[in-house]
Amino acid sequence: MYTESIVLTEKNKLKIVDQTLLPGQLKYIKINGLEDSIEAIKKLKIRGAPAIGVMAAYTLYIIANNLKSFSRNRFFEELKFAGIELKNSRPTAVNLEWAIERINQVISDNPNKIQSDIAKLLRKEALEIHSEDRDSCHQIGINGLEIVPEKANIVTHCNTGSLATGGWGTALGIIYAAAEKNISLHVYVNETRPLGQGARLTFWELNQAGIPCTLIADSMAASLMAESKINLVLFGADRIAKNGDVANKIGSYNLAVAANYHKIPCYSAAPVSTFDFDMNCGSDIPIEKREPDEILDIYNYKKGNSDLDVYNPAFDITPAELLSGIITEKGIIKQPLKINISKLINHN
């Protein structure tokens, strides 16, 4: 069993694990509407590409449910506004807009339904988005077993587990699937500066699951590779361009460069909802820039000091040629990625 990051209760209340409190405290908080949801997404109380997609879908349902006795104009206007605000809350993970589009499609497919019926349809769609992600994660885990070596020493980055998705995770899902098969494995967890998703969340998740793991600082992975202590690199994705370039947590690119130098297989794992065929290549993908304080806080600088020059992009691009493949719920996409992505995704 894993920790569910997002829960819609039987009474239709939305609850999430506040991930900013981990590993100190596992606490669910209530999301009452748009304001709470946007705050939770922006402050990374909920994070991870698939999880914020699921969160956006449930938020739109909650808003519809809260407004079902209001006038049609107000109901539709507020839902439209909420969709735009949610989409703008984090720019890189495409799963967010993908999920919002699915909800918008239900609204536009049902122009004559009354508000309470639309709210019910949105509930159904949000639950489906959640359960499809759960299934995708499970299948990614199973599909990924093919590339896990017998004695696996894996380095992973950021958090791609149950906290980041609607299921048991993507890259971490593969690790959970391997552990279920009793494959001997050890996971090196990159700390993931500046916000420590590896140290706070992945290290916590793996220890909860009883999977052997070691926490390392981001700068250590290359030297472990040089000492032959790593035989697989696995990370997730926030958006994948048509040519196979992968946007993921800042530092993923470093791992891929080091893995290639040491001739270690390097894979990204993601559901098909993370592919964006409107992006020809990585440089088309919008990269979120976050507040300087996220770095300055680590070193106890005074908050809000605008005189200091800080660069804090949340994601980087791993060029397709540095990846051995991309593991999806539909199968493993191998090189050449540009050709095989469209074959696998369009032909299923």
Name the site residues for ligand MRU (rule: CB under 6 A): 44, 47-50, 93, 158, 160, 164-165, 169-170, 197, 235-238, 248-249, 314
Catalytic residue flag (residue 245): no
Nearer to ligand MRU, 115 or 248 (CB): 248
Distances (CA, A) of 23 to 11, 201, 202: 28, 7, 10
Nearer to ligand MRU, 249 or 262 (CB): 249
Min CB(234)–ligand MRU separation in Å? 10
Min CB(91)–ligand MRU separation in Å? 11
Nearer to ligand MRU, 50 or 325 (CB): 50
Burial class (CB in 10 A: 0-12, 13-18, 19+), 29: middle
Contacts for 186 with CB less than 8 Å, ≥ 6 apart = 152, 153, 154, 212, 213, 214
Min CB(52)–ligand MRU separation in Å? 7
Residue 6 host element (H or E) = strand 6-8
Phi-psi region of 48 (alpha: psi -120 to 50; beta: other; left: phi over 0): left
Using CB positions, name the residue nearest to ligand MRU: 236
Q: Would you tell me how many other CB atoms lie within 10 Å of the CB of residue 93?
A: 28
Candidates 18, 133, 238, 276; catalytic one: 238
| Six-digit token string for 152 | 């696996």
Min CB(47)–ligand MRU separation in Å? 3
Tell me the sheet residues that pair with 246.
240, 318
Nearer to ligand MRU, 164 or 285 (CB): 164
Mind telling me the catalytic residues? 238
